[in-house]
Amino acid sequence: MSIKVKEKTEVRLVFLGAAGVGKTAIIQRFLKDTFEPKHRRTVEELHRKEFEVGGVKVTINIMDTSGSYSFPAMRRLSIQNSDAFALVYAVDDPESLEAVKSLRDEILEVKEDKFTPIVVIGNKIDRHNERQVSSKDVLTQVELDWNNSFLESSAKDNVNVLEAFKELLQQANLPSWLSPALCRRRETVPKVTNKRPIVNKTNSCLVS
0.85 exceeded by the pTM?
Answer: no
- Helices 72-80 and 94-111, axial angle in degrees (round to 10): 60
36 contact partners, CB below 8 Å, separation of at least 6: 25, 28
pLDDT computed for residue 70 by the predictor: 62
Which amino acid, one-letter code, is at 91?
V
Are the C-beta atoms of residues 30 and 169 closer than 8 Å to each other? no
- In the chain, where are the structural domains located? 10-185
The one-character DSSP state at 8 is P
Are the C-beta atoms of residues 208 and 182 closer than 8 Å to each other? no
Pick the closest to residue 98 from 137, 147, 143, 149 (CA basis): 137
The fold of the 10-185 domain, in CATH, is Rossmann fold (3.40.50)
Pick the closest to residue 17 from 85, 83, 99 (CA basis): 99
Condensed to tens digits (0 to 9), the pLDDT of residues 112-159 reads: 998 999 999 999 999 999 999 999 999 999 999 999 999 999 999 999
> What's the whole-number average pLDDT of the chain?
82
**Rounded mean pLDDT for each run of 10 residues along the chain, 208 residues in total:** 60 94 95 84 82 78 81 84 96 97 96 93 96 96 95 97 92 69 53 44 40
pLDDT computed for residue 207 by the predictor: 37
